[in-house]
Chain A
Amino acid sequence: MQGTKLEIPLWLAKGLHDSKRRIISVELPKIYKEAWRTVFSADATVVDLHKLGPYYYGFGSQLLNFDNPENPEIAQTLLQTFISRFRHIMDSSQNAYNEDTSVLVARLDELERALFQAGQKGLNDFQCWEKGQASQITASSLVQNYGKRKFPEMDG
C-alpha cells in the first residue's frame, strides 16, 4: 500500500499523522499552495473565500498540524489575508442597518460571516437602545421565531 494516494477526511489525516513514524504525508490543497498564496498577498479583499472553500481560515489552521515545510508561509498568508479583509467586514457590518446584506456576505468565509453577524447584532442592539426600546419588555425572539423555518428541517 506504500505510495498510494488517497483522499481522506481531515480528522483521519490528523489521527494517522505522526512526526516520528511517517505513516502518511499530506499534500496541500491548491489554495494553500504558493501560486494562490501570491494571489492572496496581491489583493486579499477581492477573493471569493466562500467559493474557495467556506472554511478557509479554520481549515488552513488545521493544515499546520502536518509538519509541512511551507507552514510558516501558510500561517503568514492566513494572518495577512484576515487582517486585510477584516477592516472592510467591520465597517460594512456596522453600517448596514435594516438592509439586504446578501451581497456583502457573499464572498466571505464562515468565520468572516460569523464576525459580520456579530457586528450586525451590535449595530441592531445599539439602534434599539438609542430608540429607547432597550428597557421595554418584549416577547422573546426565540419564542416568536421558533419553528418558523421548520419545513426545510423536517427530514424525518
Chain B
Amino acid sequence: MAGERAAGLVRELHRAAGGHLPPFRVEELRQALEEMRALYEQNQADVSEAKAGRTDLIFLIRFRHCCLLRNQRCILAYLYDRLLRIRALRWEYGSVLPNTIQFHMSAEEVRCLRDYGEFEIDDGTTVLLKKNSQHITGPACKAPCTHCKLSAWLRTAVQLCLISYQDAADKQS
C-alpha cells in the first residue's frame, strides 16, 4: 500500500515512549520522498492526458493525490515530532546533549541545536510555516560531507513537495 514507508516512520516514533529519540531514518525518508516524486510525475503526465479527453484517468489521479497527501502528512508528523522531542531534551539536559542521543540525530538536527540553540524555537516555527508557505526558505547547508548534502537534498525535496502539493490541493478545493 502506498505511504507505508512514511507511515512506518511515524509508527516507530509512536512506539518510542518516554521522550526517547530513535535514530534518524535517512534511508526510509529518502525512499518515501522518492515515492512522492514518482507519484507526482505520474500524475503530471496523466493530468495532461485527462485534459486531452481521457476522463477515465481521473480516479487514478485522485488516488495518487491521496497517497501523496498521506506521505506528506506522515513525513511532516515525523519531522515535527522529532523536533518537539529534541526541544524537550534540550530543555532537560541543557546545552550539551549526551553522545548517545546526538548519535541518533541527523546532521541537520545537530547543526540546528548547536548553531541556533535558543533560536531552535524559531526554527520550529519555520518548519510550520513551510507547510503553508509558497516560498523556498531556509539557509542552504554549506557543510561538505555526504550526510549533510543528503540532508540538504532532503530538506529541499520536502519543501518542493510541500509547495507543489499545497498548490495542487488548493486548486482541487
Contact = CB atoms under 8 A, between A and B. Distances in A.
A98 interface: no
Interface string B61-90: 011011101100100000000000000110
Contacts of B16: 153
A15 B66 contact: yes
B140 to A, nearest CB: 32
A150 B20 contact: yes
Given A9-B1, A140-B92, A142-B88, A147 B20 contact: yes
A153 B13 CA distance: 9
Contacts of B73: 11
Contact of B70 (A11, A140, A153): A11
Interface string A118-156: 000000000000000000000010110111111011010
B19 A149 contact: no
Contacts of B93: 140, 143
Interface of A: 9, 11-12, 15-16, 23, 140, 142-143, 145-150, 152-153, 155
Interface of B: 1, 3, 12, 15-20, 22, 59, 62-63, 65-67, 69-70, 73, 88-89, 92-93, 100-101
